[in-house]
Structures are given as C-alpha cells and as structure tokens.
Structure 1
Amino acid sequence: MTRLKVAMIGCGWVAGSQVERGFAVLPEQFEVAVAADLDPSRAEAFAARHGIPRMAASLDAVLAMPDVDVVSICTPPNLHFGGVTAALAAGKHVICEKPFVASLAQLEAVRRAEAESGRRAMPIFQYRFGDGLARVKHVVDSGLAGKAYVSAVETAWRRGPDYYQVPWRGKLASELGGVLLTQAIHMHDLLFFLMGPAATVAGFKTTRVNPVEVEDCAVGSLRMADGSLASLTATLGSAKQITRMRFCFEHVAFEVQGDGNDAGRPAELEWTVIPASPEAGERIARAMAELPPGKANFARQFELFHDALATGAPFPVTLDDAQRSLELITALFHAAETGTVVDLPIGPGHSRYEGWVSRA
C-alpha cells in the first residue's frame, strides 16, 4: 500500500504524542499532511512544531481535501462520534482516541456507518503494544499459563488542579467521565486484552481528590467470562504515579509495576514471571523467547493499522475492543449509581445503552 496521508483533528497533547511516538516513527507508511484545530493559532504552532505542511480550522475543511486518506480524531470525548461518522461518510479511514464514542448506541451507529461507507475505523488503545506484554500474551494464548484464577489491576495516578485548567476536562458534558474514562480505561483494556471479556460487573465510584464533576476514585469487581475474578482500583490522588498488575494462573503468576513515567508503559516493561514449578518455568521461558522484539505504543498500533488496510486483515484494535471497554464503563457507572450488579453484554433494552452519564 502507498504512503497514507493523515490529518490530525485537534492539536492538543495527545495529537502531539501520536505524531512523535507513532506517525513520525513510520515515515514510509505515513505522512502527517494536515493539522486542524478550531483555534488557528494552535494549529499553526502544532504544524510548525511537527513540520506539517497544511493547516485547517475545521473538520469539514479537512474532509473536503481529496488527498487525505486518514483522519485521526484527537478532540474532546463528546465530539468523537460526530467526527468519526462524518469522516467515514466523507470516504476517509478513521483513527479515534478513547473513549471511542459516548455510548453503546453510538458504537452501533458507527458499525453501520463503517459498513455503508466502505471505510474503516480504529479505536486507540496504544498501551497494549510492547514486548513485555506481548510475551505474556503469547504464553497465555498458548495455554501454557493454564486456568486463570484472579487478576488485579491498579491505576494509582495523580492529577491536580492544573490538569483541569483545560476547559473540557472535569465536566461530564465534555469529558463524559473521569479516571474510568481518561486514565484507567487503558489498564482495563489490558485486562481484556489478556483475559477476554467480563460477564458480571459491580463497583463504586466517587470524587474525592479535586472539586470536579467527574469521578476521580473508583473500584470494580468483575467475574470474567472464563469464570476467573478480577479487581480494579483507580485513583487520581496517588502521591506517586504507580500502575500495578498481577495475573494469577494455574501454572504461573505474572506481575508488572510501573512507577512515575513508567506508569503509562506497562506493556513495554519487563514483567516478573513466577512459575508454579521449574518445569512450567522452562516451558514459559522458551515460549517467551519465541517472540522477536517489535515496536511499541502508537508506532506498533499504527504499523499494524497500515498493514491491515493493505491486506484486509482485522485492525490491531477493533470495534469489538471498543465495545468491551464501553460496556465496562457503562456497567461501572450503572452499578455505582444504583447499587446493583450488572450482567454483560448490555443491549438496547438497558437504561444506559444510550449513554452511561445519568440523565436524571
């Protein structure tokens, strides 16, 4: 496939990370051709910083450009659905940041729009790409880990008042949620990436760290589809940023901890492997050694995105992955606000199928 021309829609922090850690690492596959933002000065500064030749002041202006192949939606969460569906209708492939859309109903509408347009949309979950996690997943998928028992995922990060100076953050109407939507969503995706979907969800959420509308502390208890159990803990009030994960299987336990800047890099770190026996350890070590090193983070997700468009293969992150993530968010919000346990999947008859933010 030829080099794809990409337009960045929204020129904030995450768009810069996509360019620097993704598209710029893959110059033979991608050219970032357009920087678009409602604030022309921000688009101009972004374009100058990243060597982008064109600027635009609206999504519509970008969609009218016939040479743009892919748009990457990096806008506030409440604008994702409109951006994704408009881009598909205009004949563009789409990459969209998390949360992918604002409801399970919107996700179903994206599926229809994708089918009607003949173009494809990929959600962003770049944290799942790295050699450390790839080796663990290879062992789990091979069956060498055996039966799954329990999993624990802890996202203990820190955000202060300065973080919420960005106008759309901390507001339900624009951010759609807090730690469950913007930070821990990545770590919860890693749980599903390794362990498959959840079947039942219970949880609590609250706001204790900053005076904002959205949750900044949450816990969840999950029964997974395979019968194993999982616990989730998330806060934006940790004195030190820490991500901790532990997965206990019949033949092995896997652990990883990322501190400080490494809190957002669990897939790239070396995981601790605790085999149940020397024989299991030898088999697992041989399996882990089978995988060659590869790219990480945005670079690997975008590399696989390009390959999928060229071959027709599934994207490295699919709409089904987005559905699992959005179902978990919907279930956690509903469980926390009603004191009930939620069975998955969540269908059109559920009161929050149209959105997890309570309309009451």
Structure 2
Amino acid sequence: MATSETAPGTDHRHPQSPLAPLPGRRIRVAVIGTGAIARDSHLPALARLAAEGETEIVAAVDIAAESADDFCAIAAEVGVEAGAGAGAGAGTGVAAVAGAGAGVPRAYTDPDLMLQEQRPDLVIICTPPTLHRDQTVAALRAGAWVWCEKPPVPSLADFDAVEAEEGEDGGPYASIVFQHRFGSGTRHVRRLLAEQAMGRPLVAHCQTTWYRDTAYYAVPWRGRWQTEGGGPAMGHGIHQMDLLLDLLGPWSEVRAMAGRLVHDVETEDVSTALVRFANGAMATVVNSVLSPDEVSRIRIDCERATVELTHLYGHRNDNWAITPARDVPSAEAAAWQDFGADVPSSHLDQLRELVASMRVGERPRSSGADGRTSLELIAALYKSAFTDATVKAGEIGPGDPFYTAMHGGAPGWAPVLGEPAAPGEEAAA
C-alpha cells in the first residue's frame, strides 16, 4: 500500500488524473471495503445516481474475495450501471450481470491494482479507520477524488498528510462521509441560524448516547487507539458533533471528561464536554456506548426559539422541532415550520452534492478545513480529558502529542504493550 511520505516537489498524481470539470459523462466509482456500510448505505445511493445517469461502478475491492464478489452480485441485482469493459479476467472475479448494462464489472482484493487498472474518478472508502490514510493517499495520487467513511483518519497529523496530497485547483479532493449535515431539515435550520431569524444561538446540547455490548467489541479493531482512533467520541458521536459545528460555526475552547466505565478496551466508553463557540454560544456534549435507551439529539436555544433534533441514525423533517418564544408572532413562527419537501439526511444527498462539486472542480463540503474542524474538536476533547486542562482551538499542532495520536501518550490511556487498561479507570477534567 502506498504511504503519504513524499519527496519534496514530487507529484505522484497520475498524469491522466480525471481533474474536474467532468461534464457529459458518468462519474466512474470504485468502492474499497464491501461490508455492511458499503452495501446498506453507499450502494443504494450509487444505484439512484446511476439511474439518473450520474455514476457507474467500475470496481469493488475487499481483502476477502468472496465479499467483493458478493458486493458485485448485489449491485447487479439492484441495477447499478456498470462501467465499460465488464467481464471476467481481472481481480478475484466478476459478478454475473443481471440485465443489459447493469452490474459491477470487476472485483479486486488489491486496491493498488484496481487503481492502476481502472483509474476511477471517485473512490469510496469503507474500510476500518486504520487503513483510511494510506488508501486515501493512494487514491489521490492515482488522480481520484475520495469520499471516506468516518472517522476519516486516526489523527490530525494523518489528516494534514492526506490534505497535502490533494490537488490545488480543481481537485482531486478527499471528503468525509458526514451525511447528517445533509437533508432538508438541516438545510432549513442552517438557513434560519445563518439569518439569525430566531435570534442569536445561546445554549446547545449535543448527545450521542448509544448502546454497544461486549460482542460489539469482539471485532479486533474496535476499542483500540491504533485501529479505531478513539472511542465513542471518535467513532459514534463524531456525526452529531460535526452537525453541531455545521450549524453553530467555529468552536473556540473545550473542557472535557472521559471514562472507561464498562468495557475492557483501550479507548473511553463515555465522555462529556463543555464547548464554547466563537459566537459566544455554549454547549454540552455527551458521547456514550453505555446507554440502553439510545438517542441522538441536538438542541439549540436561541433568543427567540428552541430548535431540537431527535433521532438515532438519520433524520427527516419530522425529527426536527422548532418551539418559538411566547412573544414571536404566530405568522413568523408558522413560517419557521415550513421545512419544504422532505429530503432525509443520507449518503444519497451528500453524494449528489459531491458529484456536482466534481463536475465543476470545486472543493466539496466536509473536506479540507471544513472537514478538519470536527476532528480537531475531538482531539481537543481527548486532550482536555486526559490532561485536566481547557484546550483552545488551534492549540494542537506539530509537536503536541495529541497531534499524532488521540490518546496523546497520556498515562492510563496510551497503549502499554498492547494491553487495554481495566474497566473503571477514569480521566476527569
């Protein structure tokens, strides 16, 4: 696998890289990692855009040949448009095509071979987090745009290394799957907040309280810093924290606590934080995998209304509620309730916007600095919890131990000879 270490002045991108704009043809897509998230979330989105003439899948890659072949077969069943040249002869095998022009042409076990042979326009990465950096860098160097599942990489240093490989004008760029930013409800509330129609945002609450049992952590890469990057703050709460930042804007400082209360893991299994935003708003953030009554929630109290989102893994218009203050005119309050046509938060909505960005050569949302801010908040949360200090935005950079690892080498949290600490240990701020 290619790494991100490059000689100064060296451009590793393919001389025929598919730099935008890309008008008049389908976006050629490859999927790396063909597990549940690829099948259940990405494949339906790709199928929809294929039906609209926007995309075609040219390859699927998985270390398990059978999984890659199965993905191809499922894609054929749902009628995903195939790239030209479908047929046997490459990778580990090719799914049978179900109907004219449908199916995935080629399945691989080697992503580097796939990039060399297929030269896709867009690579979707659905592998464990420890693989994200190298796979993203390899795709960028091959000239492909990247859409990577969260968490994008295990550290800020890794994120900056990836960003250094991006194109300067027109791409290729690497973006993160942050689908909760998308959908009609988010767009409506974001506009109201940007216009300050409900007054200034003052107080907020961001909650990802889910439940994961011991069997969940039996998967070898889960619960370990090196392979997962962090605990529920990194792997679960990142979506709601990203949405909170998308709605409220830049954060300025954080004070946090983290605990390892139940699970026999290296990372935390619960964290809480106080976050101050650049606009003066203050928020509480809770991330947990210890909560039988599961919920994802964001609440923002503005001067003239309270906005609340309550859901679990995705939201529609009716998951949002806007409660006006008593003195708000009824006509104005009624207008706030008009969310428009119901478009759920989804991979489809984000992919549609990403494809549009590719066609005009614009940096997509949830990439670059816009994607980095959520990862920086998580790094600051960990640093605050493990060092008993308030952490400012922009504080964590090269030379800071939390820049290269979310645990920051903190005693009781950093891996010691590969052994996780015992349940019940806590770090508090």
Measured against the shorter chain, the TM-score band is over 0.9
C-alpha separation in 2, matches of 1:39 and 1:344: 41
C-alpha separation in 2, matches of 1:359 and 1:134: 40
**Is contact 1:222–1:229 with CA below 8 Å preserved after alignment?**
yes
Q: Which structure 2 residues correspond to residues 35-114 of structure 1 after superposition, within 5 A?
A: 35-51=60-76, 52-114=104-166
Shift of 1:292: 4.5
Cα deviation digits, residues 198-252 of structure 1 (max 9, x gap)? 1001111112232222211110110111111000011111112112221000111
Determine helix, strand or coil for the equivalent of 1:359: coil
Aligned-partner residue type, residue 95 of structure 1: W
Unaligned runs of 5+ in 2: 1-22, 77-103, 411-429
| Map of 2:34 onto structure 1 | 11
2:177 to 124, 142, 160: 124
TM-score, scaled to structure 1: 0.92
Shift of 1:194: 0.5
2:201 to 121, 145, 148: 148
Match status 1:333 vs 2:356: no
2:405 to 337, 355, 359: 355
Q: Which piece of structure 1 moves more, 307-316 or 33-42?
A: 307-316
Aligned-partner residue type, residue 245 of structure 1: I
Shift of 1:280: 5.0
**Is contact 1:139–1:284 with CA below 8 Å preserved after alignment?**
no
**Is contact 1:127–1:267 with CA below 8 Å preserved after alignment?**
no
- Structure 1 runs of 4+ aligned residues shifted over 4 Å read 290-293
The structure with the larger Rg is 2
Q: Against the structure 1 CA distance between its residues 156 and 290, is the aligned structure 2 distance closer, same or farther, given a 3 Å change threshold?
A: closer
Shift of 1:328: 0.9
Determine helix, strand or coil for the equivalent of 1:335: helix
Cα deviation digits, residues 305-346 of structure 1 (max 9, x gap)? 011111233413222232111111111111111111101113
Shift of 1:349: 4.4
Aligned length: 356
2:372 to 323, 347, 351: 323
C-alpha separation in 2, matches of 1:111 and 1:164: 31
Q: Which piece of structure 1 moves more, 37-46 or 287-296?
A: 287-296
Shift of 1:116: 6.1
Shift of 1:281: 5.1
Match status 1:245 vs 2:268: no
**Is contact 2:314–2:345 with CA below 8 Å preserved after alignment?**
no
Q: Which piece of structure 1 moves more, 287-296 or 130-139?
A: 287-296
Shift of 1:72: 0.8
The structure with more helix, counted as a fraction of residues: 1
Cα deviation digits, residues 113-156 of structure 1 (max 9, x gap)? 10369412111101221222222112111220211110001111
TM-score, scaled to structure 2: 0.78
The RMSD of aligned alpha carbons is 2.0
Aligned-partner residue type, residue 344 of structure 1: A
